[in-house]
Structure 1
Amino acid sequence: MYLLIQKIPMKVPVAYIPKCPFCGEPIEPPKEVPSARILEFPRNVCKNCGAVYVYDATGHNLGAAYVEALVFACDDDWDLAWQLLPEEDYLEGRIEHYDGVTHKVIQGNFYQERYIRGVLLFIKLQEDIQEVTNEGVKKKISSLTYSSTPKRSPRFSKKLVEELVKENNLEELVNLAKEDTRVVTALQRLLYSGDEQLRWRAIKALGEVSKVIVKFKPSIVTKFLRNIIYARSDSAASSWGAIGATAEIISNNPEIYKNFIPPFVSFLIDQDSRKEVLWGIGRVAERGRPDLVKKIIPALYKLVTDEDPSIRGHAAWCLGIFKEKPAKPLLEDLLEDQHVIQIFIDGDLKKKTISELARRAIHQIKDA
């Protein structure tokens, strides 16, 4: 018995270079914005007609992307942007199924084993308005860089990253990150380790590594922070070391990621995250930017008397970093507190009594 099998050719997705929906000319890839906000999209300008476009890689933030495209088209003039009317003052366009990796539009949902859901949103101002904003927009675009291909190294392995973290070999981790950006993902995996020392060393490593990667591939670090913020907003999501990692990245790159501080600090209301948030607040202040987190100081006065030893110990440590002289009586009340907690200070996870942390804080205040 013979079985007749008909060979059906595999349908290969058609991929083509995107063209401006207004003038029909090919467009260049979106450029990355290094000074990231919670939501900030890669963008560019059509060289032929001046239309502005932004790239939403997920296709889930189109409202925010639309606003950002409109404001950027107005040369970041929010007042002008809100005065404009669609159809009358500007036109809108959209390209779906855009793949930011290859800079191609894909006919279908999958390409090169990846699900493609990116969207390019376009805004084209009327000529009289564009004449006013065009020069500023082009100047801003010229200062941005194209997204680079993720770096890969034959040396990279998850096992190697874990070994370097266990050894606390930050220098070699940073060198490896320069060769391979997957180091960030490997370190993120360690944030869920049951080994608390390993977890905190991974947090420290992420801060150091982020300073390097943000120089040539900022979107990797920004995406990492966004994912933590979004995941933590879901009460069902477990943060483990993610909150601490967020703080360490911000403290190492304060000017770039200071806009992530408000949502980060908001996690202080969550009992499970409170210790790491307090540690993060202290780290940002300790590294020379207390101005970014000073609004939280009043809460520290309450938390330093918290029934949880770990919370009051971290709060005491923070008050010392802020050199809060009015807090001295509260800290003196803790000098007999012999509860032992674990706290990541001076580069490693250490066991300290509340008394030791209070005494340390008092000395910092006296030396101020």
Structure 2
Amino acid sequence: MAAGKQQQTRPWCPFCGMDVGRPSETVQRTMKEFPAGRCQCGAVYVSDATGHNIGAAMVECLVFACGDEWDLAWELIPEDDYLTGIVEDYDDVTHQICPKRNLDGRAVRGILYFVRLHKEVAEIAARFAKKKEQEAKAAAAQGGNAVMPELEPVRDPKRQKRQANKLLVKQLVEAGDINALVDLSFDDKRTLRFLQKLLYQPAPEQRYKTAWLIGQITARLSTREPAPVADMLHRLFEACSDSASMPWGMVEAIGSIVAARTDIYGAFTRHLLNFMGDEGTREAALHGLVEIAATRPDLVRSTPFYSLFPLLDHDSARVRGLTVRLLGRVKAKEVIFQIMALQNDQTEITVYERGEPSKTTVAALVTEAVVHIQLV
């Protein structure tokens, strides 16, 4: 071998030793942050060209292995449920391993991160995938029309990036400038934390507006970087479980994020039911379920939604109205007569559409719900 030459090899699977193909952006995946691939032995892998994003790569690879079932991925335990492996010194340009970490004067710092589920967990993931396909077909049959947002264009790496701060984010939220907030979120991930802080306000009009904006922003951000959005969801759930503070806006934001990207975060739907027992979060949870049911009624029907039936007799008119609206959207024929019993309830309530308040009555929502339920 000539002096100065380094031996380059094709990347291999750390589990079976077989050569693996070049990672790519596959059409079926809902997560797009890292190119991914599959080995013949069943392992999956993602490529991080910089080697600096291993945490995000770990999350995406595990979720990819679980068929984009976030709930399943979060419940798995390393070694007990799956194994991991890393192949370092990977050059994504030539699809080679470069031990000297330099190729023609270009630094090579990439990694391939691997996950292989144990047989029992892999079978569960396969069943989840089959169930998801069946639910998607059922959603289409029920009139579901969820649309995945278009892939965000790659931002020019040479552009002047902006740094987020509380005042800037507040100004953009007040102006309703979604495009600027999406750009800022790509530039500085602290934007999501500043947005979360803006939720904590007593006026419901401001909370619902901010929550809706967060849903729109994270929907677009998640087309390329879903992991920060998933992290935000977990922070919101943690904030809701903090008994020392009022979770103003947190449940509203969870509902907006899930509703805007049911294809990725739909598994969080069932967790909204946990907020039904608290008067401070019940209406926000119902609103979130209503938003999700607008495009994916199957996600709500797959939960113990029958536990909501007694809310049709709740003392609060808004709780009755939101429950009627939700049950209409999921075509709950099981309680159509209980819903119709409210057709003379002329109590005026406020509901929110795209973050904006709208006046209506329980009776008007009953009429709307009956139409949904009776549609063939």
TM-score norm. by structure 2 comes to 0.58
Q: Secondary structure at the match of 1:192?
A: coil
Whole-angstrom CA distance in 2 between matches of 1:167 and 1:280: 24
CA contact 1:168–1:201 (8 Å) conserved in 2: no
Q: Secondary structure at the match of 2:351?
A: strand
Which of 202, 210, 217 lines up with 2:210 in the alignment? 202
Aligned partner of 2:263 in structure 1 is 255
1:334: how far off?
A: 1.8
1:323 aligns with 2:356: no
Q: CA separation of 1:232/1:68 partners in 2, compared to 1, >3 Å: closer, same or farther?
A: farther
Q: Secondary structure at the match of 1:360?
A: helix
CA contact 1:38–1:226 (8 Å) conserved in 2: no
Q: CA separation of 1:155/1:235 partners in 2, compared to 1, >3 Å: closer, same or farther?
A: closer
Which structure 2 residues correspond to residues 202-351 of structure 1 after superposition, within 5 A?
202-286=210-294, 288-294=295-301, 295-345=303-353, 347-351=355-359
Q: CA separation of 1:227/1:80 partners in 2, compared to 1, >3 Å: closer, same or farther?
A: closer
Q: Secondary structure at the match of 1:272?
A: helix
1:76 aligns with 2:117: yes
Q: What letter is aligned with 2:262?
A: P
Aligned partner of 1:98 in structure 2 is none
CA contact 1:229–1:264 (8 Å) conserved in 2: no
CA contact 1:244–1:280 (8 Å) conserved in 2: yes
Which structure 2 residues correspond to residues 1-368 of structure 1 after superposition, within 5 A?
30=54, 31=57, 32-33=59-60, 35=68, 37=70, 64-65=77-78, 67=80, 70=83, 75-79=116-120, 153-154=161-162, 156-286=164-294, 288-294=295-301, 295-345=303-353, 347-368=355-376
Q: Secondary structure at the match of 1:258?
A: helix
Q: What letter is aligned with 1:165?
A: V
Q: What letter is aligned with 2:190?
A: R
Aligned partner of 2:125 in structure 1 is none
CA contact 2:269–2:289 (8 Å) conserved in 1: no
Q: Note the residue ranges of structure 2 that are not aligned, 5 or more in a row.
A: 1-49, 86-113, 123-156
Greater alpha carbon shift after TM alignment, 188-197 vs 155-164? 155-164
CA deviations 1:138-187 (Å, max 9, x no partner) are xxxxxxxxxxx9x9933744334333333434344334434443332222
Q: Secondary structure at the match of 2:313?
A: coil
Whole-angstrom CA distance in 1 between matches of 2:335 and 2:350: 22
1:259: how far off?
A: 3.0
1:235: how far off?
A: 3.4
Whole-angstrom CA distance in 1 between matches of 2:246 and 2:310: 26
1:36: how far off?
A: 6.9
CA contact 2:82–2:117 (8 Å) conserved in 1: no
Q: Secondary structure at the match of 2:279?
A: coil
Larger Cα-atom Rg: 1
Greater alpha carbon shift after TM alignment, 255-264 vs 66-75? 66-75
Give the superposed CA RMSD.
Answer: 3.3
Q: CA separation of 1:69/1:203 partners in 2, compared to 1, >3 Å: closer, same or farther?
A: same
CA contact 2:300–2:330 (8 Å) conserved in 1: no
Q: Secondary structure at the match of 1:323?
A: coil
Q: Note the residue ranges of structure 1 that are not aligned, 5 or more in a row.
A: 1-26, 42-60, 82-148
Q: CA separation of 1:75/1:329 partners in 2, compared to 1, >3 Å: closer, same or farther?
A: same
Whole-angstrom CA distance in 2 between matches of 1:253 and 1:346: 15
Q: What letter is aligned with 1:290?
A: P
Whole-angstrom CA distance in 2 between matches of 1:172 and 1:366: 42
Matched positions, count: 253
CA deviations 1:271-303 (Å, max 9, x no partner) are 3211111111111111x2111111343123211
Q: What letter is aligned with 1:75?
A: R
Whole-angstrom CA distance in 2 between matches of 1:226 and 1:274: 19
Q: Secondary structure at the match of 1:194?
A: coil
CA contact 2:347–2:361 (8 Å) conserved in 1: yes
1:80: how far off?
A: 8.8
CA contact 1:325–1:365 (8 Å) conserved in 2: yes
Q: What letter is aligned with 1:242?
A: M
1:356: how far off?
A: 2.2
